[in-house]
Amino acid sequence: MATPNLVELRNVVFAYDAARPVLKGIDMAIPRGRVVAIMGGSGCGKTTTIRLIGGQLKASAGEVIVDGESVSRLDDGALYALRRRMGMLFQFGALFTDMTVFDNVAFQIREHTDLTEELINDLVMMKLNAVGLRGAADLMPSELSGGMARRVALARAISLDPLLMMYDEPFAGLDPISLGVIGQLIRKLNDALGATSIIVTHDVQESLQIVDYIYFVSEGRVVAEGSPAEIRASKDPWVHQFVWAEADGPVPFQYPSPPYAQDLLEAGRA
């Protein structure tokens, strides 16, 4: 029987080596059908978290559960089968530069199914239509704007109607119009497909408009979590600084250094 949570991280620890701990006991629960954001500063472990969920990395300790299966315990065949049920939107799209828009979206379908080209054509055009780019099927990636390229990558990611969608910084580098379009597409496609989505992002304001729940990560730990309304109203200093983009707070503006006056006095004596 299906569990309420599609993804669970239970006291997950990860380190590349003993001197570089990345995650230090992460607990998360991603309910089915929801859009959940993982936020935090650069290097806090956000992308590492979705790599653990996708099985590209294995936890040093703890457990990553996807649809009732422990990812680290799966053999290659079972992991490959699980990944077929996942979609991934990479940062900046990562389209195949020597393939047309159509062939980029068709790639996964051809790789993982035995469908005829006629059926593949119908599916690809359906996905491109969903992101508003059916008329761009014959274009090359070099002929697309940044926002268009991200939408093509989104069409490719949903080509097999995944159970789980993961987005790695989907708003990076986009103008305000494209950013809004991508945000609304993520929400609408998640609901239309009955999927579950995890968004790794720095873009607080856009994310608060489309997600159901947010985890804030800092220095490898979950430091805050809640609904968009709870996050906006949070009095936690770290959350407040991040949400309202304040220069100083728990994350200092100044890199650790001696007092400035001390530096000036020492320089004057030299």
Between CA 135 and CA 248 the distance in angstroms is 47
Between CA 135 and CA 267 the distance in angstroms is 65
Checking 120-124 for CB contacts under 8 A at 24+ apart, the result is 123/159, 124/155, 124/159
Q: What is the SS3 string spanning 195-208?
A: CEEEEEECCHHHHH
- What does each C-alpha distance from 139 to 92, 103, 120, 143 come to in angstroms? 18, 10, 18, 6
Arithmetic mean of pLDDT over the chain: 84
Between CA 206 and CA 174 the distance in angstroms is 12
- Reported as a single tens digit per residue, the pLDDT across 166-189 is 988 887 777 788 778 888 888 988
**The pTM is what?**
0.82
Answer whether residue 264 shows pLDDT above 80: no
Answer whether residue 1 shows pLDDT above 60: no
Answer whether residue 15 shows pLDDT above 60: yes
**Torsion region of 220: left, alpha or beta (phi above 0 gives left; psi -120 to 50 gives alpha):** left
- Reported as a single tens digit per residue, the pLDDT across 180-233 is 888 888 898 888 888 899 998 877 777 888 899 999 888 888 888 888 888 888
Mean pLDDT, range 145-161, rounded to an integer: 86
- Reported as a single tens digit per residue, the pLDDT across 27-60 is 999 999 999 999 877 777 788 888 999 888 888 8
- Quickly state the pLDDT bin for 268 (edges 50, 70, 90): low
- pLDDT at position 93, please? 66
Which domains does the chain carry?
Answer: 5-85+162-269 (3.40.50.300)
- pLDDT at position 213, please? 93
- Quickly state the pLDDT bin for 89 (edges 50, 70, 90): confident
